[in-house]
Amino acid sequence: MSKKYYIVYRVFSRKERPWFSDTSRIYGWTNNKQVLKAFMQQRDSKKYVSYEMDKEEIGEIFSSTHLPIESMIDMTSSLKSSSTGETIAFFSTANEFTEAQKRIHRIFIDLSSLSNIESKKKDTEYFVKMFLGLKEKYIEALHYIGYRPKEIDILFDSVEDQMSKVEVIHRLDTAYESFGPREWDYVHGDMQLGYSVLEDVSEKIIYSLESFVKALREDL
């Protein structure tokens, strides 16, 4: 009996892609029906549809019988909720998970800007002076958790932190190059998820279930 594979498509509404004629694209694949079921339970049923195929059918449709490991659907991580403390198994692909990580870092960089502080009476310069007035131990604590306003870095011509923030996105891009050749059977648990390339503590502690929901809200 031929082994079955499940090809999952991301289906777009006209509102989501008003300028595109294509209403769907391949999201990923799995050869495990339970994984497929768990994945679909975490996603909007209007946005995803799956088709069962065997190896021969896949070869006929895609002109290849090899499926990329980076688009294999698996339990990519166990994410902890920052509000409840509950740990949730998150099903995704390496491609999507990496993109979510990069989006989270970009969001965190933007949120660290002093210009985001809402105040009708104070401008950014006021908050720069306030930040510089903090005791050193508090500045170090904020630096440790990743709160490094770009206004402060620019003021002191300290581009090192800004470069490291951009560099982490590049490191995440290349984190999965060690996958090697594309295989049909992927060993569960082999996925590094990019954590191994994150060097700074602050790069690792910003992840939570809520962070991933925010980063992937349009595709859940």
Per-residue pLDDT reduced to its tens digit, 14-29: 888 777 777 888 999 9
Examine residue 83 and state whether it is found in any structural domain, yes or no. no
pTM: 0.73
CA dist., res. 193 & res. 191, Å (int) = 6
The pLDDT, as a whole number, for residue 200 is: 59
Q: How many distinct structural domains can be found in the chain?
A: 2
- Of 24, 51, 67, the position where a domain reaches its end is 67
pLDDT over 90, % of the chain: 19
Greatest mean pLDDT among 9-23, 85-99, 185-199 lies in 85-99
Q: Mean pLDDT across the stretch 137-153?
A: 78
Please give the residue range of the domain that contains residue 62. Answer: 1-67
Q: Which helix (H) or strand (E) holds 38?
A: helix 33-41
Nearest CA among 62, 65, 61 for reference residue 31: 65
Q: Residues 160, 204: one domain?
A: yes
Q: Is 145 helix (H, G, I), strand (E, B) or coil?
A: coil
Examine residue 85 and state whether it is found in any structural domain, yes or no. no
| Helices 160-173, 94-111: crossing angle, 10 deg rounding | 170
Question: Strand 48-54's sheet: what is its strand order?
Answer: 24-30, 4-11, 48-54
